[in-house]
Amino acid sequence: MSNIIVVFNAGSSSLKFTVFAIEQKSLIEKLIKGRLEYDEDVFHFFASNQHDQTIEQQTHALNKNKPLEFLFNWLKEHEQRQHNIVGVGHRIVHGGPDFLDPVRVTPNILKQLEALTPFAPLHQPQTLAPVHNIAEYDPDLPQIACFDTAFHRTIPDIARLLPLPQRYKEKGVRRYGFHGLSFDFLAQRLQKIDPELASGRTILAHLGNGASLCALKDGKSLETTMGFSALDGLMMGSRCGMIDPGALLYMLKEENADWNILVNTLYHQSGLLGVSGLSSDMRVLRAHLAHETDPLLRTHIQQALSLSAYRIVEEIGALVAIMEGLDGIVFTAGIGEHDATLRKDVCGALGWLGLKLDDDANSRHASIISQPESTIRVRVEPTHEELVICQKVLPFVQDQL
């Protein structure tokens, strides 16, 4: 029988999971990854092994099966190995001002996390849903909440403050930052592969459908581009990023926009999708740009791509000022790892800092894509939020191993 930890990352219509085998109380091996996708009356179950080979694909009626119970039962009997689930880790989007470290979920803790929903109304309920379901399935199974905001607890107090009346600060309306689990992994990774950048002044660029930058100095978060919400900062797939509040006042007054319209516009209709009028997917935009014959659509696509790079460069400039210099940049996540053109555009605009890109290494998505004589080292590294969560679960389940 093998001991396993299951890590969950919940989305709006799917639940991703990763299964880690625990050996010798610390050795971690990824066994399985997969996802549960929900339709109106059914759920789809997908699983693959550590080599990304599909090992299971099923569809079941929701009125006859509970997805998480199905998953746990499947894990316990998978390949007749009788896996022993010793703990579960969850990526929780918002920890608020009080949850700065991983915590075992109790009924009281769960109530406190639910109370943070106004800070992240679109994301917090999604990440807490599987916590509720597992508590019903097995109340004694240790569930550990790991917070996307916690890595930024080292940001100076002045940087957390929003220029609003003090009553908002007292209610917890302040800057928090997100993507902390990804940045945590990269900080650990740099300690192993590039201690100089790990202890220097490095910008970590998590660029995916959601995107943010972190100014890492002396191994700690000094500043980040997201603030009170995951809407702030960089332009994203369908999220606007930083925006003049006056534009929101315009929507309220001139278009009679209500909360639902604002949410839909800012979260789901803006960013790459809004500017291009075509897609929130950078890959789709790149492909269309190469063959698009409609001059207006082509212009809009180019504007979306250019604005995305411009905003990244703009925010890097601000973070360089905060860190009083720059030693390195690390690109990660879907776009950061795979879009060589965006990396070239961003690095090209930073040539005044002494950054010299190696075009061949960049096109090959090499680990180091800057030239040896570049004053700034640029790396490309995959992130692994799930592994960080598993590491954080381990201390809570040591007595079961």
Please name the residues in contact with 108: beta carbons below 8 A apart, sequence gap of 6 or more.
Answer: none
C-alpha distances in angstroms, 89 versus 20, 46, 54, 92, 122?
11, 19, 23, 9, 20
Catalytic residues, which ones? 148
Please name the residues in contact with 54: beta carbons below 8 A apart, sequence gap of 6 or more.
Answer: 46, 47, 48
Q: Is 172 exposed, middle or buried (0-12, 13-18, 19+ CB in 10 A)?
A: middle
Helix axes 124-137, 107-114, angle to 10 degrees: 160
User: Rounded distance, CA 113 to CA 94, Å?
Assistant: 8
Maximum Cα–Cα distance for the chain, whole Å?
64
- Dihedral Cα 238, 242, 243, 245, nearest 10 deg: 120
For the chain, what is the radius of gyration of the CA atoms?
22
